């Protein structure tokens, strides 16, 4: 295999780009197009109508929560959730190892941010949160990175001791399980994403899941501009409604989410079995008693042992037509938009962000494709000296 690497002049492992994500929405075309026809015939395309309400009920039933509020995106859901909780112009604790959208909820509510580091689960450090001084904090945000549930009970206990609300960014977490309980019912609320990179998609969209009826009612009003039924407005909101056509697709895909999680768990196991013997590769630790949705599959590269940096490996795989992502680099606190808005010492976050690489994982994959990706990764390590030399020569 190594002599055939494309970066060394060989033929790419895949004839066409092998995507890092591949929404399986095409499996629902026939039924979904019938849904769209009925929606168009009804003349009720927006607002909160039959499809949205049915989807909300189905999600709430699946998650075993009292309420699920459909919104336009996870970002909108996080923003409205903090607004409904009254967390404005205050201080929010959250990890920096996440997508920038996690910080947008605090940002759009005028909050400052305090960063907390991660551990080998790549989620908020349980040890740090246990020993943290909560003085000056007004809300905690936990993030289920790549679908790996963070320390939900610990976070809730620590926050509860300080009287702080907790919101979980569950963008990656639909289908994940934490100690026998589906992600969705922890904290004051959990906010999911249904964008096209997720296991279940509604094109774009999100869900706020909560067992707090009062909070759900506030978010329901805020997603519709903040308008009450008589069009009076006590608190400014935004247009964050989910269209009927989006809810229809999400509802159809939801019925198969557990199959998607099982498949991705199997694919992740294949990746780890094939790659665990490659020098310089380590993996995200899934917390004991938890099931990750495996929204992404990440490897961590040790340059000294593997023979090249994460960035060179990403380049070599791209030439094999294998698409990868450097999730999450840079971490949020290093992004220009957020540098002046937060503080905190997060050394492991900075280290991990420079070593991490996410490999392709889909709801449905061929074992042979996963093995081909792994073979290319292994071959890159074996031929690291030649690859690094080639990259250096081309950079001159």
- Phi, psi values for residue 255, rounded to 5°: -65, -20
Question: pLDDT digit of tens for each residue in the chain (396 aa)?
Answer: 545 899 999 999 999 999 999 999 999 999 999 999 999 999 888 877 899 999 999 999 999 999 999 999 999 999 999 999 999 999 999 999 999 999 999 999 999 999 999 999 999 999 999 999 999 999 999 999 999 999 999 999 999 999 999 999 999 999 999 999 999 999 999 999 999 999 999 999 999 999 999 999 999 999 999 999 999 999 999 999 999 999 999 999 999 999 999 999 999 999 999 999 999 999 999 999 999 999 999 999 999 999 999 999 999 999 999 999 999 999 999 999 999 999 999 999 999 999 999 999 999 999 999 999 999 999 999 999 999 999 999 888
pLDDT on residue 3:
55
pLDDT on residue 48:
75
pLDDT on residue 45:
86
Helices 29-42 and 50-63: crossing angle in degrees, nearest 10, is 130
Place of tokens 């249904």: 194
Phi-psi region of 25 (alpha: psi -120 to 50; beta: other; left: phi over 0): alpha
Where are the extended beta strands (E) located within 29-165? 67-71, 91-95, 112-116, 139-143
What SS3 state is found at 124? strand
Specify the DSSP class assigned to residue 346.
Answer: -
Token pair, residue 101, equals 């959208």
pLDDT on residue 1:
53
pLDDT on residue 2:
47
Cβ(123)–Cβ(172) below 8 Å: no
Cβ atoms within 10 Å of 125's Cβ, excluding its own: 21
Task: Give the Cα separation of 151 and 141 in Å (integer).
Answer: 11
Closest CA to 310 of 276, 343, 357: 357
Rg of the chain's alpha carbons, rounded to an integer?
A: 22
Cβ atoms within 10 Å of 128's Cβ, excluding its own: 15
Cβ(144)–Cβ(169) below 8 Å: yes
Which residues contact residue 190 at a Cβ distance below 8 angstroms, ignoring those fewer than 6 apart? 167, 168, 169, 170, 173, 183, 184, 208, 209, 210
Containing H/E element for 36?
Answer: helix 29-42
Burial of residue 174 (CB within 10 Å: 0-12, 13-18, 19+) is buried
């Amino acid at each position: 295999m190594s002599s055939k690497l494309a970066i060394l002049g060989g033929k790419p492992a895949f004839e066409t780009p092998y995507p890092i994500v591949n929404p399986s929405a095409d499996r629902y075309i026939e039924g979904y197009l019938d849904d769209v026809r009925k929606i168009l015939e009804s003349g009720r395309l927006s607002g909160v109508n039959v499809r949205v309400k049915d989807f909300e009920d189905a999600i709430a039933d699946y998650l075993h929560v009292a309420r699920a509020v459909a919104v336009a995106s996870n970002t909108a859901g996080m923003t409205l959730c903090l607004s409904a909780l009254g967390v404005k112009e205050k201080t929010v604790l959250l990890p920096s190892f996440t997508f920038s959208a996690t910080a947008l909820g605090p940002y759009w509510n005028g909050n400052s941010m305090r960063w907390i580091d991660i551990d080998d689960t790549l989620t908020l450090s349980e040890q740090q949160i246990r020993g943290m001084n909560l003085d000056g904090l007004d809300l905690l945000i936990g993030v289920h990175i790549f679908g790996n549930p963070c320390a939900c009970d610990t976070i809730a206990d620590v926050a509860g001791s300080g009287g702080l609300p907790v919101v979980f960014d569950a963008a990656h977490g639909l289908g994940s399980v934490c100690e026998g309980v589906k992600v969705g019912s922890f904290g004051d609320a959990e906010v999911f994403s249904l964008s096209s990179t997720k296991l279940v998609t509604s094109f774009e969209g999100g869900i706020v899941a909560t067992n707090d009826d009062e909070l759900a009612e506030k978010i329901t009003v805020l997603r519709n501009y903040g308008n009450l039924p008589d069009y009076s407005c006590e608190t400014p909101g935004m247009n964050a409604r989910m269209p009927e056509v989006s809810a229809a697709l999400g509802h159809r895909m939801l019925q198969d989410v557990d199959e998607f999680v099982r498949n991705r768990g199997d694919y992740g196991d294949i990746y780890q079995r094939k790659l665990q013997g490659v020098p310089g590769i380590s993996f995200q630790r899934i917390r004991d008693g938890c099931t990750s949705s495996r929204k992404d599959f990440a490897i961590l590269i040790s340059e000294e042992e593997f023979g090249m940096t994460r960035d060179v490996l990403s380049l070599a795989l791209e030439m094999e037509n294998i698409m990868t992502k450097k999730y999450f680099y840079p971490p949020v606190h290093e992004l220009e938009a957020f540098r002046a808005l937060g503080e905190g010492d997060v050394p492991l976050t900075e280290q991990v962000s420079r070593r991490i690489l996410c490999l392709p994982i889909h709801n449905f994959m061929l074992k042979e494709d996963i093995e081909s990706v792994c073979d290319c990764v292994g071959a890159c390590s074996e031929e690291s000296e030649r690859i690094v030399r080639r990259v250096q020569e081309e950079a001159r």
